[in-house]
């Protein structure tokens, strides 16, 4: 009886040190320590590194493409603003030409009036 109690104490102590309960991948609870994952071969490790590097490069290239799209949108916006400014300047230029033509017409009218005034005899 004493020996059985000693075995029980040893069993419970070993159970305590090994972990009371662990969980398997499918959600079952088992007694004992966690089982180790199988070791990967060097080829598997290299493939995992390669896949991680490919994923990193894909995300980097996607980020670069997004930045390029943003730059293209900025360029298009700036181009549209420049086109609008050019149209506005062209309109102002045509307004200036029209104002100069009107000013020349008014100068001719003033000269005509001055000539008529000069033709009137002074009393």
Dihedral angle computed from the Cα positions of residues 97, 103, 104 and 110, in that order, rounded to the nearest 10 degrees: 170
pTM given for the model: 0.43
The one-digit pLDDT tens for each residue of the chain (123 residues) are: 678 787 788 777 776 665 555 556 665 656 555 556 678 888 999 999 999 999 999 999 999 999 999 999 999 999 999 999 999 998 898 999 999 999 999 999 999 999 999 888 886
Helix (H, G, I), strand (E, B) or coil at 27: coil
* Helices (runs of H) and strands (runs of E) counted in the chain: 2, 2
Backbone phi and psi for residue 4, each to the nearest 5 degrees, phi listed first:
-65, -40
């Amino acid at each position: 009886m004493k020996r059985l109690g000693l075995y029980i104490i040893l069993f419970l102590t070993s159970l305590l040190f090994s972990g009371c309960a662990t969980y398997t991948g499918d959600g079952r609870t088992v007694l004992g320590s966690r089982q180790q994952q199988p070791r990967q071969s060097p080829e598997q490790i290299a493939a995992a590194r390669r896949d991680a590097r490919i994923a990193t490069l894909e995300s980097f290239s996607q980020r670069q493409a997004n930045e390029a799209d943003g730059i293209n949108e900025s360029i298009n916006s700036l181009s549209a603003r420049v086109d609008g400014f050019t149209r506005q300047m062209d309109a102002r230029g045509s307004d200036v030409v029209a104002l100069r033509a009107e000013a020349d017409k008014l100068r001719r009218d003033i000269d005509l009036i001055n000539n008529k005034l000069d033709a009137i005899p002074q009393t």
